[in-house]
Amino acid sequence: MSEQAKAVGPEALPELREQVERIVAEAKRQGASGCEVAVSLEQGLSTSVRQGEVETVEFNRDQGFGITLYVGQRKGSASTSATGEAAIRETVAAALAIAKHASEDECAGLADPALMARDLPDLDLYHPWDLNPDQAVERALACEAAAFATDARVTKADGTTLNTHYGCRVYGNSHGFIGGYASSRHSLSCVMIAEGEGQMQRDYWYDVSRRGDLLDSPENIGRRAAQRAALRLGARPVPTAEVPVLFAPEVAVGLFGHFLGAISGGSLYRKSSFLEGCLGQKLFPEWLTLDERPLLRGALGSASFDNDGLATYAKPFVENGELVSYVLGTYSGRKLGMPSTANAGGVHNLFVSHGDEDQKALLRRMGRGLLVTELMGQGVNLVTGDYSRGAGGYWVENGEIQFPVQEVTIAANLRDLFANILAVGNDVENRGNLHTGSVLVERMMVAGN
């Protein structure tokens, strides 16, 4: 491990904890009735290549802190990238000035001190990758070269990027809670362009992991990107029809992301969610469960405490198709008159239950319809649940892919879409915080030519 990696790893946590204590003490000295602080120190290397040439080699190192403090029921926040004593005093004073001019909010304030996390297990999130710029460039070039070698129709590269990032974060508040951890995240992505049949088509592939040695090989990533780009050649619209739609895993995650947005406390207390008041209702098929597993060792979404300092815990949001929990932090919980679900800042490792069928089996079950591998646009209205987005993918007849599709729009209401999920495949997407396989929906409107 390099000295640079050590500087932002677990060895830095004691110093960051001491910094949090100094900031909290300064906030109390200046008159805050309560405060919470997040201090971070991060470092990374990013390398990109295109057409066999190095485009960028960037090294970054960032540090700083953000503070939210309270004067009674008034709140003020400020942040800085400086860390000295003068910066602490000035940033606390700035937050305090904001708080004194803010309106009172009966729901403002820290979480109950009795709810602070006590046990903070080591979740094995820190695996720095001792990669120098030359090695990073070599991997990126190998990825791009493999893509070009895969198919003669792949004629241009649109960028291959390798990122390696690590750092540590410490959160503390005036209840005396201090928690911190070091983490790492490494990724390699490749975007290629294929030409043929009078078209140019772009597609990509990537991998991401806490551990650099667990990333898929540069050659595999390049080949997959090239294959996906070449397969899109000859894409065309299809006639407008209401047909089954199969979402590939990498786009299916977005469907459940919209669901999480609709059951999040912020949307609910603002009355801007189509799922307001739906707790206890059946929204999905009875066989479907969505559960959170925040304490998985080494997973990309793991965390032992949330942004309020509460201990995270495993729980379902949907059980046997029924909505059994909202996604709540302390503030949104108070606004709704409900306890926090330890989800301030979001969910951690959400898993969608699935069956034994792979994507090919789901295509056979679908028979005739659209396999969606790309989504475009922002046509999602969480107030009404209306969903309408541009899509690309493949037309399917008799359970087999026939030709690539572009310039179509798929539409439904999300509530109907969720209720009409027929199956979730075992081809689970594991490159992020949300884990799901391909999702087969009984019917959606596909608008083409």
Phi and psi dihedrals of 59, rounded to 5? -110, 130
Closest CA to 19 of 213, 195, 206, 168: 168
Residue 371, pLDDT score? 98
What does the alpha-carbon distance between residue 383 and residue 404 come to, in Å, rounded to a whole number? 33
Q: In angstroms, rounded to a whole number, what is the distance separating the alpha carbons of residues 436 and 449?
A: 31
Report the largest interatomic distance among the alpha carbons of the chain, rounded to a whole angstrom.
73
Q: What angle do CA 431, 437, 442 make, to 5 degrees?
A: 145
Share of the chain above pLDDT 90, in %: 96
Interatomic CA distance for residues 226 and 147, integer angstroms: 5
- Look at the block and give the residue holding tokens 């008799």: 398
Q: Which amino acid is at 52?
A: G
**Per the structure block, which two tokens stand in for 377?**
């646009």
For residues 169 and 185, is the Cβ–Cβ distance under 8 A? Answer: no
Q: Please name each of the domains of the chain with its CATH number.
A: 10-230 (3.30.2290.10), 241-447 (no CATH)
Chain centroid to CA 353: how far? 19
Q: Output the pLDDT for position 370.
A: 98
**pLDDT, position 1:** 43
Note the pLDDT of residue 3: 47
pTM for the structure as a whole? 0.95
Phi, psi of 84 (to 5 degrees): -75, 175
Please give the structure tokens belonging to residue 284. Answer: 């999905």
H-run or E-run covering 138: helix 133-150
Structure tokens, 243 = 């047909």
Confidence at residue 83, expressed as pLDDT on a 0 to 100 scale: 84
**Nearest residue to 345 via CA among 83, 66, 106:** 66
CA gap 38, 408 in Å, rounded: 45
**For helices 133-150 and 218-231, what crossing angle results, to 10°?**
40
Q: How large is the C-alpha radius of gyration of the chain?
A: 24
Residue type, 71: V
Token pair listed for 164: 């390696």
Instruction: Give 304-360 pLDDT, tens digit per residue.
Output: 999 999 999 999 999 999 999 999 999 999 999 999 999 999 999 999 999 999 999
**Burial code of 373-408, b = ≥16 C-beta within 10 A, e = fewer?**
bbbeeeebebeebebbbbbbbbbbeeeeeeebbbeb
440 three-class SS = strand
- The residue type found at 347 is V
**Exposed, middle or buried by CB within 10 Å (0-12, 13-18, 19+), for 94?**
middle
- Rounded to whole angstroms, how far apart are CA atoms 361 and 424? 11
Paired tokens of 80: 């800085």
Spell out, as residue ranges, where the chain has pLDDT lower than 70.
1-6
Yes or no: say if 66 and 78 are a contact pair by the CB < 8 Å rule. Answer: yes
At residue 449, the pLDDT reads 75
